[in-house]
Structure 1
Amino acid sequence: MKKVKYLAMLLAAGMFAACSDNLEDTGAGNAGGTTPATGEGYVKVAINMPTTSGGMSRVDDSNIFEDGTTNEYAVKNGILVFFTDNEGAVTPENSATFVKAYPISLSNPSDGNVQVTTRYSYIGEAPMPNDGKQIYALAILNNNGLFSVSDGKLQIKDDASTESKDVFSTDNMTLAELQSKSKITTTSSVVTNEGFMMLNAPLAKAANYSAITSLSDVQTLVPVTVYEDKQTAQDRPASDIYVERVVAKVTLSGFKYDAKAATDKYTLSVATSDNESPFNDDKVALQGWALNVTNKTTKAVRDVSSITTWISSDYGTDNRFIGTNNIDGNNLYRIYWGIDNNYTGTYTVDNEFNIYTTDASITWNDQTSDANTEDNDHALYCLENTMDYGNQKQDQTTTVIIKTKYAAFPTEKNPYASFFMYGAQQKTYNVDDFIDNVEKTLDWETTHNGETLTINTTADGGTYTYATTIPTGQYNITSLFTITGGSATALTTDEAQKVYNALGNIRYYKDGASYYNTVLIRHFDDTNTDVVWNPSDRMYTQKHLGRYGVLRNNWYEIKVTGISGPGAPSIEDPDPNPDDETEGYIQTRINVLSWAKRNQDVEL
Structure 2
Amino acid sequence: MKTKQLFFCGMTGLALLATSCSSNDEALNGGDGTTSEGKTYAQIAISVANSATTRALTGNTGDEAYGDDAEYTVNDLTVVLADNNDIAVQVITPELKTATDANEADKVVRVTKPFKCTPGSYKVYVLANYRNSQSSLSPIIKGSTDMKTVFSLSDIAKLSTTNNFFMTNVSAPTAQEIKKKATDKEVDDAGNEATGGETNLNLLKVDVERAVSKVTFNQDKLSFDVKEGGNKIATATLEGVSLINLNKKMYLVKHGELAMNQPVAGDWPYPMDPNYDLTSIDEAYITANFEQTRASVFSAPSEAKFYCPENTMAALAQLNGQTTGVVYKVKYTPVDDFYTTLAAANGTDSYSQMFEKVLALGEVKDAAITNTIFTTAEGTDITDGTFYSYNGYVFKSKAGARLYKAIATNTDGEAATVNTAFKNNENDADIQTYTKGYCYYTAWIKHNPTSTVTMEQDKYGVVRNFWYELTVDNIKKLGYSQPTYKDPKDPDDKEEASIQVQVNIKKWRVVKQNLDLE
* Fold match (TM-score > 0.5): yes
Which of the numbers 75, 92, 95 marks the counterpart of 1:102?
92
What is the deviation of 1:242? 1.3
Bigger CA radius of gyration: 2
Distance (whole Å) between structure 2 residues aligned to residue 220 and residue 335 of structure 1: 19
What is the deviation of 1:595? 0.9
**Count of equivalent residues:** 431
Distance (whole Å) between structure 2 residues aligned to residue 249 and residue 434 of structure 1: 49
Once the two structures are superposed, the pairs formed by residues 110-509 of structure 1 within 5 Å of their partners are 117-129=107-119, 133-147=120-134, 167-170=141-144, 174-176=146-148, 179-180=149-150, 182-202=151-171, 219-221=172-174, 223=176, 225=178, 232-233=185-186, 234-235=198-199, 238-256=203-221, 267-270=222-225, 276-279=229-232, 282-304=234-256, 307=257, 310=258, 316=260, 320=262, 324=266, 336-345=269-278, 346=280, 348=282, 349-351=285-287, 352-354=289-291, 356-357=293-294, 362-368=296-302, 378-409=304-335, 428-429=338-339, 442-443=355-356, 446=360, 447=362, 453=373, 454-457=376-379, 463-464=389-390, 492-495=419-422, 508-509=433-434
Q: Is the 8 A contact 2:320 2:485 kept in 1?
A: no
Deviations 1:92-121 (A, max 9, x none): 5xx35433121134467799xxx9943323
Q: Is the 8 A contact 2:89 2:143 kept in 1?
A: no
Q: Is the 8 A contact 1:142 1:198 kept in 2?
A: yes
Deviations 1:515-541 (A, max 9, x none): 21x211111244xx5426xxxxxxx5x
Q: Is the 8 A contact 2:472 2:500 kept in 1?
A: yes
- Output the amino acid matched with 2:443: V
Q: Secondary structure at the match of 1:511?
A: helix
Distance (whole Å) between structure 1 residues aligned to residue 235 and residue 291 of structure 2: 31
| Structure 1 length-normalised TM | 0.60
Identity, % of aligned pairs? 21
Q: Secondary structure at the match of 2:493?
A: helix
Deviations 1:53-100 (A, max 9, x none): xxxxxxxx997111112211122222111234xxxxxxx5xx354331
Q: Is the 8 A contact 1:222 1:241 kept in 2?
A: no
Deviations 1:466-497 (A, max 9, x none): xxxxxxxxxx9659689xxxxxxxx9543479
Is 1:587 aligned to 2:500, yes or no? yes
Q: Which runs of 5+ in 1 are unaligned?
A: 1-12, 19-24, 31-35, 53-60, 85-91, 148-155, 160-164, 203-218, 257-266, 325-333, 370-377, 410-418, 420-426, 466-475, 483-490, 533-539
- Equivalent in the alignment of 2:23: none
| Structure 2 length-normalised TM | 0.68
- Output the amino acid matched with 1:391: A
- Structure 1 pair 354–498 and aligned structure 2 pair: CA distance change class (3 A): closer
What is the deviation of 1:591? 1.2
- Output the amino acid matched with 2:272: I
- Structure 1 pair 525–480 and aligned structure 2 pair: CA distance change class (3 A): closer
- Structure 1 pair 508–572 and aligned structure 2 pair: CA distance change class (3 A): same
Distance (whole Å) between structure 1 residues aligned to residue 93 and residue 425 of structure 2: 72
- Equivalent in the alignment of 1:567: 479
Q: Is the 8 A contact 1:67 1:594 kept in 2?
A: yes
- Structure 1 pair 559–368 and aligned structure 2 pair: CA distance change class (3 A): same
- Equivalent in the alignment of 2:20: none
- Output the amino acid matched with 1:569: S
- Structure 1 pair 522–442 and aligned structure 2 pair: CA distance change class (3 A): same
- Equivalent in the alignment of 2:437: 512
- Equivalent in the alignment of 1:22: none
Distance (whole Å) between structure 1 residues aligned to residue 63 and residue 496 of structure 2: 30
RMSD over equivalenced CA pairs, Å: 4.6
- Equivalent in the alignment of 2:3: 15
Deviations 1:289-345 (A, max 9, x none): 1112222222333222xx5xx47xxxx5x6x59984xxxxxxxxx560222221224
- Output the amino acid matched with 1:341: P
Q: Which runs of 5+ in 2 are unaligned?
A: 7-27, 52-59, 187-197, 392-396, 404-417
Distance (whole Å) between structure 1 residues aligned to residue 402 and residue 493 of structure 2: 37
Is 1:547 aligned to 2:459, yes or no? yes
